[in-house]
């Protein structure tokens, strides 16, 4: 029934019962000329990937794992903003189902300080793959994740249909992915009110080394704005941000 699911205009569904990683599948399709809007959903991913080479594992049926192909017309320099667009889209979709959601810059989605969804954005020469994993039906996490992860089932009391979650995310992604050029102020406004890091003490790895400070907010280009202990404000792009206090 996944294959028959009607997606919002502009999206096309390709359901794979079992695959390695939907991000890899969409990348191959893109390299073979697939048009934008392709959505590959996996029943089961055998080598789901997270950022920084981590694995993304979610029991089949309990997690929603999918990737979307975009071919942005905006200048490539603006493509990193799609990370913010995806994070905001997922946070809003989750909120439609009940729980208040925040985005941990650049794009983990949290509910009550625990991770509920992860996003892996990868760019090719002329396309972007947005891979999204959402914990939907998981009722119990492995011990090492018990304090840091949550799911829609745990937050809503019962698990929504995976397809309903997919439709909500695509609808919001449609809106926000169109706002990385003109309209970016609106995207920033939405993101800033949901930024889980503002005011938090953090430690992160910036391009030129490790950095500690307090997050003052999100810069006008979507960067993280960090105030260092000596009062200097820096705009940073970083892959991993750890909250220290
Ligand atoms: C992260 O939290 O580091 C990102 C996790 C992204 C997981 C999704 S699941 C669908 C898509 N396919 C993958 O291999 N990864 C992304």
What lies within 8 Å, CB to CB, of 32 at 6+ separation is none
Q: Are residues 119 and 209 in the same domain?
A: no
Residues facing residue 111 across a β-bridge: 114
Residue that finishes a domain, picked among 161, 176, 193? 193
- State the Cα–Cα distance between residues 124 and 26, nearest whole angstrom: 11
Q: Give the per-residue pLDDT at 206.
A: 86
Does 163 reside within a domain? yes
Which atom of ligand 1 has the smallest separation from the CA of 50? 3
pLDDT, tens digit, 9 for 90 and up, residues 183-193: 999 999 999 99
Q: Are residues 170 and 63 in the same domain?
A: yes
CA 198 distance to own-chain centroid: 18
Does 73 reside within a domain? yes
Q: Are residues 99 and 213 in the same domain?
A: no
Ligand 1 geometric centre to CA of 132 (Å): 5
Which has the closest alpha carbon to 10: 152, 136, 174? 174
Does 17 reside within a domain? yes
Q: Which of 146-150, 178-182, 241-245 has the lowest mean pLDDT?
A: 241-245
Ligand 1 geometric centre to CA of 80 (Å): 16
* Count of other CB atoms within 10 angstroms of residue 220: 10
Q: Are 204 and 196 in contact (CB under 8 A)?
A: no
pLDDT, tens digit, 9 for 90 and up, residues 216-233: 999 998 999 999 999 999
Ligand 1 geometric centre to CA of 216 (Å): 28
Q: Are residues 96 and 207 in the same domain?
A: no
Q: Are residues 139 and 177 in the same domain?
A: yes
Q: Terminus-to-terminus CA distance in the chain, angstroms?
A: 46
pLDDT, tens digit, 9 for 90 and up, residues 72-111: 999 999 999 999 999 999 999 999 999 999 999 888 999 9
Peptide bond preceding 106 in cis form (omega within 30 of 0) = yes
Q: Give the per-residue pLDDT at 1.
A: 84
Does 2 reside within a domain? no
Q: Are residues 92 and 52 in the same domain?
A: yes
Write out the residue range of the structural domain in which residue 150 sits. 12-193
Share of the chain above pLDDT 70, in %: 100
- Helix axis angle, 81-96 relative to 184-193, nearest 10°? 50
Asked whether the ipTM of the predicted complex exceeds the cut of 0.90, the reply is yes
- Among 109-123, 201-215, 226-240, the range of highest mean pLDDT: 109-123
Q: Are residues 84 and 115 in the same domain?
A: yes
Q: Is 110 in the pocket of ligand 1 (CB under 6 A)?
A: no
Q: Give the per-residue pLDDT at 115.
A: 96
Q: Are residues 65 and 168 in the same domain?
A: yes
The number of distinct structural domains making up the chain is 2
- Does the pLDDT value for residue 66 go beyond 90? yes
Does 4 reside within a domain? no
* Count of other CB atoms within 10 angstroms of residue 83: 23
Q: Is 56 in the pocket of ligand 1 (CB under 6 A)?
A: yes
Q: Is 127 in the pocket of ligand 1 (CB under 6 A)?
A: no
Q: Are residues 50 and 26 in the same domain?
A: yes
Q: Are 165 and 158 in contact (CB under 8 A)?
A: no
- Does the pLDDT value for residue 8 go beyond 80? yes
Q: Is 85 in the pocket of ligand 1 (CB under 6 A)?
A: no
Q: Is 63 in the pocket of ligand 1 (CB under 6 A)?
A: no
Q: Give the per-residue pLDDT at 60.
A: 85
Which has the closest alpha carbon to 88: 188, 156, 165? 188
- CATH number of the domain to which 82 belongs: 3.30.930.10
Q: Give the per-residue pLDDT at 130.
A: 98
Q: Are residues 221 and 150 in the same domain?
A: no
Q: How far is CA 168 from CA 54, 123, 182, in A?
A: 26, 24, 23
Mean pLDDT of 58-66: 92
What's the predicted TM-score (pTM) here? 0.95
Mean pLDDT of 34-56: 95
Q: Give the per-residue pLDDT at 107.
A: 82
């Amino acid at each position: 029934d996944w294959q028959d699911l009607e997606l919002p205009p502009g999206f096309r569904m390709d359901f794979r019962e079992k695959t390695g990683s939907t991000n890899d599948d969409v990348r191959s399709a893109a390299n073979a000329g697939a048009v934008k809007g392709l959505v590959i959903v996996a029943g089961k991913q055998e080598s789901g990937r997270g950022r920084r080479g981590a694995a993304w594992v979610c029991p089949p049926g309990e997690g929603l794992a999918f990737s979307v192909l975009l071919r942005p017309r905006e200048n490539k320099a603006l493509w990193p903003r799609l990370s913010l667009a995806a994070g905001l889209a997922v946070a809003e979709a989750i909120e439609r189902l009940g729980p208040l959601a925040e985005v941990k810059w650049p794009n983990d989605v949290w509910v009550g300080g625990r991770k509920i969804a992860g996003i892996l954005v990868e760019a090719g020469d002329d396309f972007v793959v947005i891979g999204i994993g959402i914990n939907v039906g998981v009722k119990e996490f492995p011990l090492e994740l018990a304090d840091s992860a949550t799911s829609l089932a745990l937050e809503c009391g019962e698990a929504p249909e995976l397809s309903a979650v997919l439709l909500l995310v695509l609808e919001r992604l449609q809106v926000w992915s169109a706002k990385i050029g003109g309209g970016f102020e609106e995207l920033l406004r939405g993101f800033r009110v949901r930024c889980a890091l503002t005011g938090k003490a953090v430690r992160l790895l910036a391009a030129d080394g490790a950095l500690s400070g307090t997050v003052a907010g999100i810069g006008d280009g979507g960067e993280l704005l960090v105030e260092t202990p000596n009062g200097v404000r820096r705009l940073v792009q970083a892959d991993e941000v750890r909250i220290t206090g």
